[in-house]
Amino acid sequence: MGDKAYGSKAVRGELRHRRSQAVISRKGSPNIKGLGKLRYVVEQTFALLHQFKRLAVRRERRIELHGAFLSLACSLICWRRLTRVGS
C-alpha cells in the first residue's frame, strides 16, 4: 500500500516482478476509499517495531539475523498486548 508518490511505472514494475499487488492510487485519479484505515494499521505496526532500536536502524549484515530480531519483536509486541488485555 502506498500513496500516489509511489505510483510510478518503475515501482509498479518492481512490485509485479516480486508478484505483489499494488494498492496505490494513480496520479490525477480520486483517492481509494478506506485506504487510510488500512494504511493506519501498517504505519502503527512500523511505529511499534521502531521501539526496538536494533530494528529501527538495521545493522546486521545477514538478513537471517534481521528476520530473527523482527520475529522476536513481533512476538514481544503480541505478548505485551495479550497480557495487557487479559489483566
Cα angle 12, 63, 50; round to 5:
75
Cell numbers representing residue 57 in the block: 536502524
Q: What values do phi and psi take at 2, rounded to 5?
A: -160, 170
Domain segments of the chain as ranges: 1-39, 50-87
The C-alpha cell 545493522 sits at 59
Chain segment 31-47, per-residue pLDDT in tens:
666 666 666 777 788 88
Provide the percentage of residues in the chain whose pLDDT is more than 70. 72
Instruction: Note the pTM of the prediction, 2 decimals.
Output: 0.52
Mean pLDDT of 67-87: 85
Mean pLDDT of 11-16: 82
Instruction: Kindly indicate the confidence band of residue 61, based on its pLDDT and cuts at 50, 70 and 90.
Output: confident
pLDDT at 19 over 80: yes
Count of helices and strands (H, E) across the chain: 4, 0
